[in-house]
Chain A
Amino acid sequence: MHEEWTDLMSAAVDGELDPVTTRRLESHLAGCAECAAVMADLRGLIAAASSYQGVAPASDLWPGIKGRIDATKVLPFARRSRARFGFRELLAAGIVMAAAGAGGSWYWTHREPAALAVADRPVSGAGFELTSTAYDSALAELGRTLTARRGQLDTSTVRVLERSIRTIDQAVAEARAAIQRDTANAYLNEQIAANLRQKLNLLKAATRAINSAT
């Protein structure tokens, strides 16, 4: 192993070496198996480090965290001094969430029969209709809130909000279409209902955010 070359290897694997020195190093590695092995090891080490997933604490820390959260009564929104900024973030999350929901609908309506056999276990309660009604109500309330507060929100916020509503609306429409195509599938019904419940919570949070931001 040649130190004058190994000293350059970290910079080389990080892409920080100039082209001329890189070529010189490559040339050396071509003729030096020992240094080439070091270089390969460094590559492997870096790959392993970046994929390292950690280790859980020896004891469960969640009860302590939950206790402190409950004790302080601090909500993520309540602590914000710039509510409008956080509101936009929430809407951005809404877009992703809605898109994920649409993807979920697609998955549940296009998956392979083998997957269906495993997944379609009996479930009680087909909550889609109930959730869907609540969802319509929440969406309507968000629309009314937006209309009432439009003048108090900046235009970019309104644009993001309107885009989110359109995306969410589309995801809900896809979910409804999926239910109609497969009305007897209780598991599909329950999955989409669960997805809608998440979006319902998001819409409620968005409405609260608008009210607190204006």
Chain B
Amino acid sequence: MEAALTAPAMSLGTVTSPFRPGADMDDVALAVGGDADAFERLYRRHVPRVNALARWLVAPSDAEDAVQEVFIRVWEKLGTFAGQSAFGTWLHRVAVNVMLRRRQNLGRDRARVTDDEFALTLVADGPRQPELRMAIEQAVDGLPPGAREVFVLHDMEGYKHDEIAELLGVDPGTSRSQLHRARMMLRKVLA
């Protein structure tokens, strides 16, 4: 029983984290002093996840511009990083804010959260990717937009439902139901 509640049976693989908090702090200290090389190192360590966020939170055609805007914003705000959390955590908060604001500016706001049936079947019916990272990426790509955003923010970025509700302008209950929906859809595709 306890095992059923705690043991992960679906093995999607765990990627070794490239993040090294100590290296981040060193480079933040240098970048704050204007060292662009140190900032480039921060960029290269963190751009994959920021890019994934952009892929799922803004339109794919807008993703690269959004990533660039995130890192320029981070450069400008670096002096306000308090070091109370990991740099990556702070960066992702900045990234989410930049992307959601960008999306609102493009006129895609709350409607996306209530968007419904999407082409998850495209993923389910397509050839199964042998590589697990690609499998989860494609599965998340195929989620309905509202469920995808909540899943990315909650399960990948660690936001709480109250925070998601505020960010997306929805009810916390909607966030919960969208998350469950996303998880069940993904489970069906990936199991």
Interface residues of A in 1-38 (CB under 8 A from B): 6-7, 9-13, 16, 26-27, 29-30, 36-38
B171 adjacent to chain A (CB < 8 Å): no
At the interface, yes or no: A74 with Cβ under 8 Å from chain B? yes
Instruction: Please pick, from A48, A56, A74, A93, the residue contacting B76 in the complex, using a CB distance under 8 A.
Output: A74
The answer to whether B187 touches A41 (Cβ under 8 A) is yes
Partner pick for A26 among B5, B22, B36, B76, CB 8 A cutoff: B5
A89→B79 contact, CB < 8 A: yes
Chain-A contact segment, one of B66-74, B98-106, B109-117, B119-127: B66-74
The number of A-B residue pairs with CB atoms under 8 Å apart is 209
Q: Which of B52-75 contact A (CB under 8 A)?
A: 52-53, 55, 63-64, 67-68, 71-72, 75
Q: B29 near A65 (CB under 8 angstroms)?
A: no
| B60 CB → nearest A CB, Å | 11
Chain A proximity mask over B142-159: 1 for CB below 8 Å, otherwise 0? 000000000100011010
In the bound complex, residues from chain A placing their C-beta under 8 Å from that of B81 are: 89
Q: Within the complex, which residue of B9, B13, B49, B77 is in contact with A76, where a contact is CB–CB below 8 Å? A: B77
Chain A interface mostly: helix
B123 CB to nearest chain A CB (Å): 14
Contact of A75 among B18, B34, B52, B67 (CB under 8 A): B34
The answer on a CB contact under 8 Å between A202 and B29 is: yes
Band of interface residues on B: 35 or more
9 nearest A-B residue pairs (beta carbon): A44-B10, A205-B33, A54-B48, A48-B12, A40-B9, A44-B8, A54-B49, A54-B52, A76-B78
Q: Are B12 and A90 in contact (CB under 8 A)?
A: no
Interface residues of B in 10-25 (CB under 8 A from A): 10-15, 17-18, 22, 25
Chain A residue contacts of B49, Cβ below 8 A: 52-54
- Known A-B contacts A40-B10, A57-B67; the reply to A50 vs B155 at CB < 8 A is yes
- Contacts A53-B17, A69-B72, A96-B22: A77 and B34 contacting too (C-beta < 8 A)? yes
- 22 A–B contacts from the bound complex (CB under 8 Å): A10-B179, A13-B5, A16-B176, A30-B1, A40-B7, A48-B12, A49-B151, A52-B49, A54-B52, A58-B64, A61-B64, A64-B68, A66-B40, A69-B75, A76-B78, A76-B79, A86-B79, A89-B80, A92-B82, A92-B83, A97-B29, A201-B29
